[in-house]
A and B are shown apart, each in its own frame.
Chain A
Amino acid sequence: MAVLDVKNLKKIYRPRFGGNQVQALSCVNFSVEEGEYVAIMGESGSGKTTLLNIMAALDKPTEGTVLLDGKPLSSIKDKDIAQFRRDNLGFVFQEFNLLDTFNVKDNILLPLVLKGENCKHMDSKLQPIAKELGISALLEKYPYEISGGQKQRAAVARALITEPRLILADEPTGALDSRSTDELLGLFARINAGGQTILMVTHSVKAASKAGRVLFIRDGEVFHQVYRGQMTDEQLYQKISDTLTMLATGGDRR
Chain B
Amino acid sequence: MKKGFYIRLAGEGISKNRKLYFPYILTCICMIMMYYIVSFLSISKELASIRGGEMLQRLLSMGVFVVAVFALIFLYYTNSFLIRKRKKELGLYNILGMGKRNLVRILLWENILTAVISLVIGIVFGILFSKLAELLAIKLLDGATGFGVHIEMKPILMTVGLFLAIFLLIMIRMLVSVYKLRPIEMLRSENVGEKPPKANWLFAFAGAVILAGAYYLAVKIIDPTTAMLVFFLAVVMVIIATYLLFIAGSVALCKLLQKSKKYYYKTRHFVSLSQMVYRMKRNGAGLASICILSTMVLVTISSTMCIYADTESSIRNRYPHDITIEWSGKTSLPQNEDGTDTELKDSVVQRLTPEMTMTYKEAVEKVLESHKVKAENLENYNLYSLSGVQSDDVLSIDFEKMKGEISSINAGMSGSVKTMYFTTMDDYNKLKGTDKTLAEDEMMLYSYKTDYEYDSFTIDGVGTWKVETMKEPPIGVGNAMANMQGSYQVVVKDLSVIEKIATAYETINAKPLQDGTLYLLSLKECYDFDLKCDEEKQIEIYKDILESFEHISEAADEQGNRMGDSLANYYADSKAYGKGDFIALNGGLFFLGVLLGAVFLFGTVLIMYYKQISEGYEDQDRFNILMKVGMTKKEVKQTINSQVLTVFFMPLIMAGIHLAFAFPMIQKILMLMSGVEAKVFVIVTIGCYLVFALFYVLVYVVTSKSYYTIISSKEK
Contacts and interface: CB of A to CB of B under 8 A. Distances in A.
Interface of A: 58, 79, 81-83, 85-86, 89, 91, 93, 97-103, 106, 109-111, 113-116, 119, 122, 142, 144, 158
A82 B633 contact: yes
Contact of A101 (B262, B267, B622, B629): B622
B195 A142 contact: yes
Contacts of B264: 119
Interface string B625-641: 11111111111000000
B380 interface: no
A174 B270 CA distance: 30
24 contacts: A58-B628, A81-B632, A82-B627, A82-B630, A82-B635, A83-B630, A83-B632, A89-B630, A91-B628, A99-B622, A99-B626, A100-B191, A100-B622, A101-B275, A101-B278, A106-B274, A110-B271, A111-B629, A113-B270, A114-B267, A114-B635, A116-B266, A119-B262, A119-B265
A93 B628 contact: yes
A115 B265 CA distance: 11
Contacts of A97: 625, 628-629
A144 B629 contact: no
Interface in B615-668: 622, 625-635
A101 B626 contact: no
Nearest to B260: A119
Contact of B277 (A86, A101, A115): A101
A119 B271 CA distance: 15
B192 A144 contact: yes
Give the top 9 A-B pairs by smallest Cβ distance, nearest first: A86-B630, A82-B632, A119-B265, A113-B270, A144-B193, A97-B625, A101-B274, A101-B275, A119-B261
A111 B622 contact: no
Interface in B157-201: 191-196
Contacts of B265: 109, 113, 119, 122
Contacts of B635: 82, 114
Interface of B: 191-196, 261-262, 264-267, 270-271, 274-275, 277-278, 622, 625-635
B632 to A, nearest CB: 4
Contacts of B262: 119
A114 B196 contact: no
Contacts of B192: 100, 144
Contacts of B278: 101
B632 A79 contact: yes
A81 B632 CA distance: 8
Contacts, number: 75
Contact of A113 (B266, B275, B277, B625): B266
A207 to B, nearest CB: 21
A177 B266 CA distance: 36
B447 to A, nearest CB: 60
Nearest to B628: A97
Contacts of A119: 261-262, 264-265
Nearest to B196: A142
A93 B633 CA distance: 20
A215 B310 CA distance: 85
Nearest to B630: A86
B282 to A, nearest CB: 11
A86 B264 CA distance: 20
Nearest to A83: B632
Contacts of A111: 629-630
B283 to A, nearest CB: 14
Nearest to B270: A113
Given A99-B622, A100-B194, A101-B277, A116 B632 contact: no
A86 to B, nearest CB: 3
Nearest to A89: B630
Contacts of A100: 191-192, 194, 622
Contacts of A82: 627, 630-633, 635
Nearest to A109: B265
A236 to B, nearest CB: 30
A85 B633 CA distance: 13
Nearest to A93: B628
Contacts of A101: 196, 274-275, 277-278, 622
Contacts of B633: 82
B636 to A, nearest CB: 9
A85 B632 CA distance: 10
A158 B632 contact: no
Q: Considering residues A81, A101, A113, A142, which has the most beta carbons from chain B within 10 angstroms of its beta carbon?
A: A101
Given A101-B278, A102-B274, A106-B274, A79 B195 contact: no
A115 B635 CA distance: 12
A114 B631 contact: yes
A114 B268 CA distance: 8
B637 to A, nearest CB: 12
